Amino acid sequence: MKKSVIYMFAASVLLLSSCNDFLEKSPRDTFTNNPAFWSNLNDVTSYSNKFYDNYVGFSQAGGAGWFYFKSLSDDQARGGFEDWTYKTIPNTSTNWSGPFTEIRRIDYMLQGLQGSTLAAQDKNRFIAIGRLNRAWEYYQLVREYGDVEWIDYPILDPEDEKVSGDRDDRDVVMDSVLNDLNYAIANLPSVSDKTAWSKEMALAMKSDICLYEGTYCKYRTQADNGKAADASRAQKFLQESVAASEAIMNSGLFGLSDNYGDIYNSLSLGESKEIIFYRNYEKDIVMHGLCDYTNSSSEQYGITKDAIDAFLFTDGKPLATTSMDKDDKAVKNANGNYSIAKILNNRDKRLSVLLDSIICFKGHGWARLNEQGLPSGSAQMTSSTGYTIRKYDNTSVEAYYRTNTNTNYTDAPLYWYAVILLNEAEAKAELGTITQADLDNTVNLLEKRAGLPNLTLQPAADPANNMNVSNLIWEIRRCRRCELMADNWYRYWDLVRWHQLDKLDSQKYPNINLGANLTNVTDNSSTVNAENYIVATSKTRTFESKYYFYPVPTNEISLNKNIKQNPNWDK
């Protein structure tokens, strides 16, 4: 057959509708499109490997990734202030167009494979890779925008009805996402390479996505989300999440690392029993900047007082009910630095992995030491809250490769076993089917690693529970928060799916903008409140229900009159 090369349509076609995202030209969208291409194992492998770039990890090319940098939450505060992603409606947005661009590339592959002469097993595997990644892209679109148009073939005709089509109901789209995930699970093999597309990676994605969908549908409201809660749908997806989690747990392929934190600063995650899928970085080849951002002189996005207060004391009790020492004042040590070592010693071990034991704030910078207590090459650090994040840094790496942007090469976890255990416990608790054995096989493995007593089915009430959920669900959510703090953009989307995004209103919840207690600091130049806690910023963030969705870019609505704006953004 005559070779044909795919080019996108001319600029006039690009002005048609929201589907212009499927018609835009990209350097990666010019390729040889004929049966020979899709029948060549190396060509199809190379094409599908580019989907790996859609899993951000620590960062791409030194930019901001999904760990640490996604600081719009109650766990971190920025001196420069982190407001809502959108407060006004943008003309365009890559959050909208980017996933559609990738979906178009996937649909080209899926169409091309229909006429491929590859062996059936290989063809089905590549179709599975395509559908897995289409599920991932639509999941991003749905949680950000709600209703979006489902397109499962490449649009080549500007007169195609999809070009000016309406947005599809988000529930219908997520049903299609589940179908794609199930196909991927059925047709991907188990492999030892944890950077490769595998059945277990697809199961982990399903565990995550179905937990999101199940809880979102349980807690959503007509007023805020445009659809009322749906108990039957919630049950279906929570059960799907449990099934995926248990398939991984029962595989015998994975387990927890001996120490919390090992997976965040490793040079070789492929050997970790906790890892299901990870992003590999290589020295002098593909690198990131996360280590540098968390040990440089630039002010860190500090951990908040609200986050610190979430960590249990070693007696297993929260701040409000523990009988242990609650004093959180930093204490000046022999070197003239202000230490929180006593605080860390009394708390969940995960806190001492997350944070440095010295607080760093204006006028009191501190350079991180290595594991032997010697200078590590770090700069004098400061943090917006005084609390600096250390769990992503590896002080054994030579200073040049830690302290420059885009020279860091520690690997980034993308799916890992601890998350699966958390998903299993939460889904079963929401379903009302959880047993003590379930707790012991999930969150209690994490609590044990954190030096805490076991969680029981009837934990004592915590006066801080402000989410209108049972004591048990509150404690499971606490464990999730502490285990995954600053990780992989989890906290923000957890608040969305629990219908708790109002917890990011800093006027109603001021502790999300506070940091360390500087009562003992005699020469303080940082802004503090009446109780001497650092105030990260004087700016405030006010919640409105419209923030449950990103606004649809105005250009998309202008080009396609069938597209309507998201709830409450037109007010």
Tens-digit pLDDT profile for the chain (571 aa)? 323 222 222 222 333 334 444 444 343 445 678 899 999 999 999 999 999 999 999 987 667 999 999 999 999 999 988 999 999 999 999 999 999 999 999 999 999 999 999 999 999 999 999 999 999 999 999 999 999 999 999 998 888 988 889 999 999 999 999 999 999 999 999 999 999 999 999 999 999 999 999 999 999 999 999 999 999 999 999 999 999 999 999 999 999 999 999 999 999 999 999 999 999 999 999 999 999 999 999 999 999 999 999 999 999 999 999 999 999 999 999 999 999 999 999 999 999 999 999 999 999 999 999 989 999 999 999 999 999 999 999 999 999 999 998 999 999 999 999 999 999 999 999 999 999 999 999 999 999 999 999 999 999 999 999 999 999 999 999 999 999 999 999 999 999 999 999 999 999 999 999 999 999 999 999 999 999 999 999 999 999 999 999 999 999 999 999 999 999 998 7
Displacement of CA 149 from its chain's centroid (Å): 24
Q: Do domains 91-187+540-570 and 194-279+412-491 have the same CATH topology?
A: yes
Bridge partners of residue 383, in order along the sequence: 300
Residue 50's contacts (CB-CB under 8 Å, 6 or more residues apart) are 28, 105
Spell out the residues 6+ positions from residue 139 whose beta carbon is closer than 8 angstroms to its own. 174, 177, 209, 212
What single DSSP character describes residue 336?
Answer: S
Instruction: Show me where the domains of the chain are located.
Output: 53-89+280-409+505-529, 91-187+540-570, 194-279+412-491
Structure tokens that stand for 283 in this block? 């020295």
Distance of CA 56 to the CA centre of its chain: 10
DSSP for residue 263: G
CA-CA distance, 103 to 137, in Å (whole number)?
A: 7
How would you class 27 by CB atoms within 10 Å of its CB: exposed for 0-12, middle for 13-18, buried for 19 or more?
exposed
Note the pLDDT of residue 446. Answer: 98
How far is it, in rounded angstroms, from Cα 297 to Cα 78? Answer: 15
Secondary structure class of 241 (helix, strand, coil): helix
CA distances from 224 to 72, 190, 219, 546, 567 (A): 20, 41, 11, 7, 7
Burial 413-422 (b: 16+ CB within 10 A, else e): bbbbbbbbbb
> What's the CA gap between 348 and 448, in Å, rounded?
10
Asked if residue 520 lies in contact with residue 331, where contact means CB atoms within 8 angstroms, the answer is yes
Compute and round to an integer the Cα radius of gyration of the chain: 24
Is the four-CA dihedral 257, 259, 261, 266 of positive or negative sign?
Answer: negative
Strands 533-535 and 375-381: unpaired
The answer to whether residues 17 and 164 touch, using CB atoms and an 8 Å cutoff, is: yes
- Match 């944890």 to its residue by tokens: 194
Which of these, 514, 510, 565, lies nearest to 542 by C-alpha position?
510
Beta pairing partners, 415: 277
CA distance 536 to 514: 6
pLDDT in tens, 202-243: 999 999 999 999 999 999 999 999 999 999 999 999 999 999
DSSP track, 478-489: HHHHHHTTT-TT
Identify the CA nearest to 234 among candidates 144, 147, 174: 174
Largest CA distance in the chain: 81
The hierarchical CATH code for the domain 194-279+412-491 is: 1.25.40.900
Encoded tokens for 299: 């002010």
Which pLDDT does position 110 carry in this prediction?
98
The number of residues making up the chain comes to: 571
pLDDT score for 33: 81
pLDDT of residue 340: 98
With beta carbons less than 8 A apart as the criterion, state whether 353 and 260 touch. yes
Q: What is the pLDDT of residue 29?
A: 47
DSSP-derived secondary structure letter, 209: H
Determine the pLDDT at residue 63.
78
Q: Are strands 76-77 and 302-303 parallel, antiparallel or unpaired?
A: antiparallel
Say how far apart CA 553 and CA 402 lie, in whole Å: 38
Give alpha helix (H) positions in 387-470: 417-431, 436-441, 443-449
pLDDT tens-place string over residues 7-24: 222 222 333 334 444 444
Residues 6+ apart with CB under 8 A from 294: 68, 300, 388, 389, 390, 392, 393
Taking domain 91-187+540-570, whether its CATH number is 2.40.420.20 is answered by no
Under a CB-based contact definition with an 8 Å cutoff, are residues 340 and 357 in contact? yes
